[in-house]
Structure 1
Amino acid sequence: MMLADPSKKYRRMYQRVDLPDRQWPNKEINKAPIWMSTDLRDGNQAIFEPMNPKQKFKMFQMLVKIGFKHIEIGFPSASQVDFDFTRKLIEEGHIPDDVYIEVLVQARDHLIQRTFEALQGAKRAIVHIYNANSPTFRKKVLNVDAAGARQLAINAAEKVREYAAEQPETDWIFQYSPECFSATELDVSREVCDAVTEIWQASPSRKVILNLPATVEVSGPHIYADQIEWMHRNLARRDGIIISVHCHNDRGCGIAASELAIMAGADRVEGCVFGNGERTGNVDIAAMALNMYTQGVAPELDFSNINEIIATVEECTGLPVHPRHPYAGDLVFTAFSGSHQDAIKKGFEFQKDEEIWDMPYLPIDPRDLGRDYDAVIRVNSQSGKGGIAYLLESNYNVVLPRRLQIEFSQTVQQHTDEQGTEVSAQDIWTLFQDTYVAAKDNHYSARNYRLSDENGNQVIELELEINGESQHLRGEGNGPISAILNALQLPIDVLNYEERGISAGARAKALALIELQVQGTGKSAFGAGVHDNIVTSSIEAIIASINRLIEQGILSTEQVVAAAV
């Protein structure tokens, strides 16, 4: 089955805008808009089971904490739950003095009356009326022409003004939405908006909100921006109007449309914290606000504890936040790719506190959102040496030499290929110990040693078990390492030796890393030792390296010349 011929089934549902001198492409967003959360209304209408009063109240408290000053709390004329919730917030004094609660109501007289009953006693409130003006709705739903649709809005605006006058103690803001604005002729939208703002006497001291929604996203965001700029230029009483946008995400462009709308003259953005909302969702305010944050613009919303916000939203809505959600997803700061991991690891080596954030693949510092760096790099079969090295260093303070990074990454790669799953930092550390530390017991193993000074040299007396037989060795050198190697009397050279303190559990330990090469072969092996005592860890690292040389067939037990005491 193939898709139908689109030219025979679909057409553009929007009006092209004649705006050759459009200004929005040259604008930048340099301040946050007024944010309005629709989580408790549009978002609540879009879930399998609408929130109960306890969940709605918890969500409201979260929205206040984030910093929303306009919060749409419901549709009290259409739902007793919403009516009761509105009364609870007002009567119990849960609304901060600087927060406007907003309620939605259709442009119908009896519903407007019921809405004002719900708002009695509110200190501040926004009454939001709406009706559709698009050709599709006029013809197929309302059975009116453009003038008839406009008259519906006029009647409702007059009722809102009338009922608000009966409650002068409340600080009222009136809001009107020409529903389906983006699919309506611009002249029709302007005429109805001008009629409403005239009734409400919009002025700089008594501003009216005109919400111009992409109720259904029917065009690219550039078309929507043109529509907003046209309205911004042509509305009457513009200085008394707050232009608001409410973008749905039918084409997946809700954030882009909202951002371009701000550039085109919009003052306010409606949406849900994580983009919940009817059908494909409202605009995602967290992503949009943090987009601004990463450009150096204060979003005036606080997402510094994003995990707590996620937990609240998921609990109240029953909807999970996608693991790849911008900024909030569990995996959004996580790199599995080897090249990404290598770049991030190197970036952290350069990034200094208090400097401008400039990191490969990480547009925002996870710590700004209340997250740490533990999950930035995770390892699976797609990962490389950089990620493995980063996890060992950040979790255990183990810094691997480059050649050891390359070698050990192959061991981890084989493990992940066989298991087919992600491996944790602890899994990698365990695999490292199994490969490079546990080898100390495979062929040779150290039982006891005694280290002393004689004539300025280090002398070691060492008891080894070699293939089940005990031997006593003695050697001296200018340090413990040379003394041990002289005691062993093997044809080996030290290519690399490092020691450092590590955190491998509750107690700090000493890690010794050594690379020994068999003379005349050009072949080498790494070994590691972990112990409370650095000399002990060095002995164990040397023995582990020798045992690995034996296992790889580079060295044989017959080559041992022991100096028995």
Structure 2
Amino acid sequence: MNNPSIPASDRTPSAFDHRKYVAYDTPTLPDRTWPDRVITQAPIWCSVDLRDGNQALVDPMTVPQKLMMFELLVDLGFKEIEIGFPSASQTEFDFCRQLIEEERIPADVTIQVLVQAREPLIARTFEALKGVKQAIVHVYNSTSRVQREQVFRQDMNAIRQLARQGARWVKNYAQQYPDTQWRFQYSPESFTGTELEYAISVCNAVLDVWQPSAEAKAIINLPATVEMSTPNVFADQVERVHRALAYRDAVVLSVHTHNDRGTGIAASELAVMAGADRVEGTLLGNGERTGNMDIFTMAMNLYSRGVDPELNLADVERIEQVYTTCTNLPVHPRHPYIGELVYTAFSGSHQDAIKKCLAVRQPEDPWEVAYLPIDPADLGRSYEAVIRVNSQSGKGGVAYLLEQNTGYRLPRALQVAFAQVVQQESERSAKEIHAAWITQAFHDAYSQQAPLSVESYRLNAARGGKDQLSVEVIYHGQAQTWVGQGQGPLAAWVNAVNNHCGLSLEVDDYAEHSLGHDKDADAVAFVALKGNDTVFWGCATGSDIVRTALDAVVAGANAAIKQAVDKQDKQSA
């Protein structure tokens, strides 16, 4: 259709010309109520992975793959599962028969099948369902203006009569199989491209045929076969149908959104606020074009706000494994909730905030952690994967990874110093820096044990005076005994080191903490030695805290000795 907003003289073909598109008609609903509603319980979920998802694959699922997917959906808690289009192919027909004849359908699960409003296809569909305990027969015909005018070349009344006739065929064939508990579903395909009041009239015509009751409810499904508007417009459409639908107390109002505009999930969420009782979609959003509504994400959205999704999605490893095996599609690393990188922070400020929130959080507290909308552990993800380091990271992320790998809780000044070491390497390599490298780099930088090392020590603590410390050392390969005095063993040892190494160091900072919770746990000690306006950090671990402190001083002193030697070498050169 020509866009009247474009002057006739200017309607020339263009490779990229927005003027050939027209704005979507929006319903007039000034008294809309959905914006004030809050979702407090999960909708009825219906998975269409085995039908809509399957037909969108380059290589449709084999029967073993379909069985694997069906079993996953059952285990996740889906009570309604659309298994296919049994009148469309022998494979689809045989899969339906296999589920029924091998009694693979649990008593609390209802399978759903799709069929066009054509009598031979409806007859074949009921043949495929023979012997099933309960089933939903989902009949549809396209009602959109474009398809009426350009595909079917029929008027509104003819299309409405086709819907009514399809409903009659479904009802009549169901009567031939009285042992099955039947439920009927109708979709005005391409609902979003159908004039709203006309779509309502078609749905009501179908309901007049079925005459649903509170005991035998029908399903009216509103498919955004192609997503054409913003989610709020779809919500207005759903609320209008919700108000105008006949037999409303005997109807389950369902939606089936696609993701052509990238807002399929939002459209379904707003639709539930607008009165929809049921949502069709696929796990992880596989489907035609840009995909179907992603049930996993919508369910986890509810979960993250304290609403029971009524699906058990905790085993994300299995979900991802079955999904990739059955669809031959990858899971995007940024896919909400399940992607490899969704709980990962590289930014320094993000890492620092996460680290601090996790440090103060108590197990009984509500989940409130910066940048993490849910607890990764709920989906089997470890905290070790939350913070990862690259050139964008800061001291908090580096310190977090080191603590996860070693148990060390670095003093803030040491965090700053070590982060610079990691930053230099990440910028040099232009790659992510892993925890193993960080751990090794920390020990290389702050645990140097040459040319000086401690063999043993004797401490004579003086009450009210200076302590005397006698230490057996190896210095440049030679065994020696060094003696020092000071206010406490640390000061006494620094005094001895200065006297024998020609240094002028003093303790600028010291920290220690246990590496476990029992009385025999090792401890770690950190010491900062200042000399000539330079700070040399040392770290050591051990079960004897005095010896551990001495070894930490040794590590810092060795760094100072190395710097002095390097300076002399440069001057000599």
TM-score range relative to shorter protein: over 0.9
Structure 2: distance between partners of 1:402 and 1:555 = 28
SS at match of 2:524: strand
Structure 1: distance between partners of 2:385 and 2:219 = 43
- Give deviations 1:395-424, integer Å, cap 9, x for gaps: 321101111111110100001111111112
SS at match of 1:212: strand
- Give deviations 1:89-125, integer Å, cap 9, x for gaps: 1111111111110011111111111111111111110
Structure 2: distance between partners of 1:543 and 1:85 = 73
1:471 and 2:480 aligned? yes
Match of 2:555 in 1: 544
Structural mapping, 1:3-402, within 5 Å: 4-7=16-19, 9-12=20-23, 14-402=24-412
Structure 2: distance between partners of 1:317 and 1:415 = 40
Match of 1:493 in 2: 506
Runs of 4+ in 1 over 6 A off after TM superposition: 454-458, 554-557
SS at match of 1:341: helix
Match of 2:526 in 1: 513
| Amino acid across the alignment from 2:73 | L
Residue from 439, 446, 460 that aligns with 2:453? 446
Residue 82 of structure 1: CA displacement? 1.4
Residue 50 of structure 1: CA displacement? 1.1
| Amino acid across the alignment from 2:552 | A
- Give deviations 1:408-463, integer Å, cap 9, x for gaps: 101000011111111122211111011111x221xx32152232547678654334
- Give deviations 1:1-56, integer Å, cap 9, x for gaps: 9853322x1123x4320111111111111111000001111111112211111111
- Residues 2 and 461 of structure 1, relative CA distance in 2, 3 Å threshold: farther
- The more displaced of 483-492 and 408-417 is 483-492
- The more displaced of 355-364 and 544-553 is 544-553
Structure 1: distance between partners of 2:439 and 2:36 = 52
Question: Is contact 1:446-1:543 (8 Å) kept?
Answer: yes
- The more displaced of 539-548 and 247-256 is 539-548
- Residues 302 and 467 of structure 1, relative CA distance in 2, 3 Å threshold: same
- Give deviations 1:128-148, integer Å, cap 9, x for gaps: 011101111011211211111
SS at match of 1:233: helix
SS at match of 1:213: strand
Question: Is contact 1:495-1:517 (8 Å) kept?
Answer: yes
Question: Is contact 2:184-2:219 (8 Å) kept?
Answer: yes
- Residues 171 and 534 of structure 1, relative CA distance in 2, 3 Å threshold: same
Structure 2: distance between partners of 1:44 and 1:508 = 56
Structure 2: distance between partners of 1:202 and 1:104 = 19
- Give deviations 1:347-380, integer Å, cap 9, x for gaps: 1122211211111111111111122211111111
SS at match of 1:257: helix
SS at match of 2:150: helix
| Amino acid across the alignment from 2:525 | A
Aligned residues between the structures = 547
Q: Structure 1: where are the runs of 5+ without partners?
A: 558-565
1:484 and 2:493 aligned? yes
SS at match of 2:283: coil
Match of 2:4 in 1: none
Structure 1: distance between partners of 2:412 and 2:563 = 21
Match of 2:471 in 1: 462
| Amino acid across the alignment from 1:11 | V
Match of 2:571 in 1: none
State TM-score, norm by structure 1.
0.92
Structure 2: distance between partners of 1:354 and 1:118 = 52
- Give deviations 1:446-500, integer Å, cap 9, x for gaps: 1522325476786543343444555321235565423422332353221222233
Structure 2: distance between partners of 1:524 and 1:455 = 29
- Give deviations 1:42-101, integer Å, cap 9, x for gaps: 111112211111111111111011111110011111121111111111111111111110
State TM-score, norm by structure 2.
0.91
Question: Is contact 1:446-1:462 (8 Å) kept?
Answer: no
